[in-house]
Amino acid sequence: MRVIAGERKGHALKAVPGNNTRPTTDKVKESLFSIIGPFFDGDIVLDLFAGSGGLGIEALSRGAERAVFIDQATLAIKTIRQNIEGCHFTERAEVYRNDAERALKLLHKNEWKFDLVFLDPPYKKQQLEKLLIALEKLELVSENGRIVCEHDKEAVMPDTIGKFEKIKSVSYGITVLSIFEFQEA
């Protein structure tokens, strides 16, 4: 795994030890950022189920202003911190160990608004629709903000979830990227 583009292009990223995480491959990451970016100007990013932090770090490298990384696993948190420090993004990143639902409530309480959200939960525990509804209810996504859902090809995402409209869906083997945009009106 590596940072593909931007100010930290080519920097190697550590993977979370063990078999409990499934890192987004460089090919999928490169395709994803060509769809949603490829570069950003001051976006605020949430990397939920962050794993190694690869997606949020890629966004920072490509110009995002800040990123919040959340994962429940202690090894993942340790890896995210090592990767952020290695990329010199410590001042632009916040890392929290928490489960997704509790984390979203805390982010709401602290009045966060995100322009870009990465949702890449373990395939066997995905509740993507429920997470999108929570993001809307807690007002965590800015107008025209985008949510990238990485999921198994067996999980079919509807075209609309609350005020989120699917703008693109792309398959890569067993992995599907469903990209939603928040429509306030």
Residue 82's alpha-carbon distances to 15, 85, 157, in angstroms, are 10, 5, 33
DSSP state, residue 185: -
Question: Is pLDDT at 122 greater than 80 in this prediction?
Answer: no
Q: What is the pLDDT of residues 49-63, one digit of tens each?
A: 999 999 999 999 999
Q: What is the pLDDT of residues 60-118, one digit of tens each?
A: 999 999 999 999 999 999 999 999 999 999 999 999 999 999 999 999 999 999 999 99
Residues 93, 162: Cα–Cα separation, whole Å? 29
Q: Are 11 and 86 spatial neighbours (Cβ–Cβ below 8 Å)?
A: yes
Angle in degrees, 0-180, between the axes of helices 26-36 and 54-61, rounded to the nearest 10: 50
Residues 165, 58: Cα–Cα separation, whole Å? 24
Q: Which CATH number fits domain 1-17+24-180: 3.40.630.30, 3.90.650.10, 1.10.3720.10, 3.40.50.150?
A: 3.40.50.150
Residues 95, 119: Cα–Cα separation, whole Å? 16
pLDDT at 152: 87
Question: Is pLDDT at 21 greater than 70 in this prediction?
Answer: no
